[in-house]
Chain A
Amino acid sequence: MVLDDTTIERLTRESKPSLELAQLMPAKRKRAHRETQLEVEGREGSRFRVIVRQLVLDPLDFSVILAYLPSGSTRVFRLRRHNGSSHVHSNKLEGTTIRFDFHMHTATERYQVAGFKEEDYAEPTDAYGDLPGAVAYMLEVAGFEPPAQRSMAV
């Protein structure tokens, strides 16, 4: 399955029900990391999964993934991945390298057509500097509705 850039953008921006940061903090221990997964249905009926992982030994080694789950398929299509600053990343098509910096992977048509994984392309970012910031930024850019305003006691 190859998704074009327009579809990727549409799915990423599809309005999704609000989630609280606390729901997405990694909790379940899996070998050397902790992770949490939540599935939501977008307002257009698409199904998505948010997966958050963080290394126990290095809090700056983390990933926040927004994946699209096509109906009737086992495919998990990663639309975006926000990573920490623990490693170097090289973009194979562009020949560029990100050195120990926070970076965001985004799914692209060109990487799929070239035979690579959909979200292999990444760019450095200063939009966040830790895991909670990366999660909050994902909620912001991926169409998640803001939390309902709490009523103020008068």
Chain B
Amino acid sequence: MSVLEPDLAGLLARTVGGSVEVEPLSERESRVSTVFQFADGDHLVTRLRRVDGDRYEWTDLGHTFMHLSYGLDVDSLEQGKRGELLEDALRRLDVEEREGELVLQTSSADLGSSLLRFAQALLHVADLDYLTQERVRSTFLEDFRRMLGSEFGSRAHFDYVDADHDPRALYPVSCLLNEDPRPVAVFALPSDDAINVATITLQQFRNWGRRFFAAGIHEEQASRNRKAVARFSDVVDKQFSFLHGNENEIVGYLAERLEE
């Protein structure tokens, strides 16, 4: 079966169960358009490439990840919850990733069903968009830790507690940067409860005579209880009203405080 085979479209349509068009681009590659589309109406990019002999491969040229990047930072797929889901989806459908290009190897005898599997894989990857910060609260904390960990390395002490004064770990700091001479305490604030706990924690550290620069990073401050935010404002030195899209400003500001 050649990528130039005139009946290729018909063969694929019979398996896929819908309209398929094949446009040869060269002797070795054809553009294949199907009914499969992302949620926004953009159709999948699927090309059939002849490798050699009877070996073919489906490829999206990297379009799926680029499309996904409209809604999230594709670097966040390297690890954490999104990374696990991505790896699982690709492994189950035998799709490999080559520097962002999704590829499914196949043969002439399996073109139709492999096209179906390939489309399924691309749609699974696209569905990771539904795990953006607007929809899955748990990724805020992952992203908070990843941002500070990658920027400050061993200077970032997550879930810090003052072991001398607080052996039961009742007053945790989301992340303490440095320890001496003037540490910077950073609180992750995904909820009203987290804001209230951070307020109490800062007051307690003051009672113990511990002094540091304190910052709070809200997941979305506009959605928080105004009184809780007001009480927190009385004890914190700096607040950031949101994290995603604001990372450069946040790490820059914290880095400057560490230099003081």
Contacts and interface: CB of A to CB of B under 8 A. Distances in A.
B220 interface: yes
B45 interface: yes
Interface string A1-12: 000000000000
A147 interface: no
Interface in B214-243: 219-222, 241-243
Q: Which one of B39, B61, B75, B99 has the highest number of Cβ atoms from chain A below 10 Å of its Cβ?
A: B61
Given A32-B101, A73-B242, A55 B40 contact: no
Contacts of A61: 45, 61, 63, 66
B21 to A, nearest CB: 9
Contact of A57 (B101, B219, B220, B244): B101
A56 B101 CA distance: 10
A89 B43 CA distance: 6
A111 to B, nearest CB: 9
Nearest to A90: B41
B41 A69 contact: no
A73 B243 CA distance: 9
Contacts of B221: 72
Nearest to B60: A32
Contacts of B245: 49, 69, 74, 76
Given A74-B245, A90-B43, A116-B40, A53 B66 contact: yes
Interface in A50-94: 53, 55-58, 61, 63, 65, 69, 72-76, 78, 81, 83, 86-92
Nearest to B61: A57
A33 interface: yes
Contacts of B134: 74-75
Main secondary structure of the interface of B (DSSP, over half): loop
A109 interface: no
A144 B101 CA distance: 34
B160 interface: no
Interface string B180-219: 0000000000000000000000000000000000000001
Contact of A53 (B39, B69, B219): B69
Interface string A107-148: 000000000110110100000000000000000000000000
Contact of B42 (A31, A87, A99, A116): A87
Contacts of A119: 40
A35 interface: yes
Contacts of A116: 39-40
A30 interface: yes
A143 B243 CA distance: 28
Given A87-B45, A90-B43, A31 B242 contact: no
B63 A72 contact: no
Contacts of B37: 88, 90
Contacts of B100: 30-33, 56
Given A32-B99, A32-B101, A57-B61, 7 more contacts: A33-B66, A35-B69, A61-B66, A72-B241, A74-B220, A88-B42, A116-B39
Interface of A: 30-33, 35, 49, 53, 55-58, 61, 63, 65, 69, 72-76, 78, 81, 83, 86-92, 99-100, 116-117, 119-120, 122
Closest 10 CB pairs of A and B: A32-B62, A31-B100, A32-B100, A88-B43, A72-B222, A33-B66, A57-B61, A74-B242, A31-B65, A90-B41
